[in-house]
Each structure stands twice: as C-alpha cells, then as structure tokens.
Amino acid sequence: MKNNLKKIRKERGLTQFDLAKQTDISPSDISQIETEKRFPFPGWRKKLAKALEIAEKELFPGIKE
C-alpha cells in the first residue's frame, strides 16, 4: 500500500523510534510500513494518523473507508 508515512513523520521531526513510542508499534514495523514491505493493520493506521495529527486518507491515500 502506497503511503506518505516516512515523508510526514520526517516533516514532524520524528524518528521511527519516537513514533513507535507514541503508537506502541515497533520501530521495525514502522520501517516495514514505510518501505511498503508490511501492510498496516486498520488499528495501526488509526494510531499512526492520530500521532501524526493527520487524516488516515492523507497518510495512506489508497485506503477505502
């Protein structure tokens, strides 16, 4: 799934570790989502969007609501 996670995370000045602490998603999983090697579960998408203060659709443009 194409996503803007890495771009937006960096714009917010966060490391993968920072984002992991805020979301309870491991840095390894965040890395795999950013490189599109892992599909983000719906609950993860919500946590990531909330932590980055952005709509899920902007973070993950390919999702269907």
pLDDT-derived band at 18 (thresholds 50, 70, 90) equals: very high
Tell me which DSSP letter residue 3 carries.
-
25: number of Cβ within 10 Å: 20
pLDDT at residue 65 in the model? 60
pLDDT at residue 64 in the model? 76
pLDDT for 4 beyond 90: yes
- 11-16 long-range Cβ contacts below 8 angstroms, 24+ apart: 12/52, 12/53, 14/52
Q: What is the pTM of this model?
A: 0.91
Name residue 40's amino acid.
P
Output the average pLDDT for the chain: 95
Domain locations in the chain as residue ranges: 5-57
pLDDT-derived band at 29 (thresholds 50, 70, 90) equals: very high
- The CATH superfamily holding the domain 5-57 is lambda repressor-like DNA-binding domains (1.10.260.40)
pLDDT at residue 62 in the model? 82
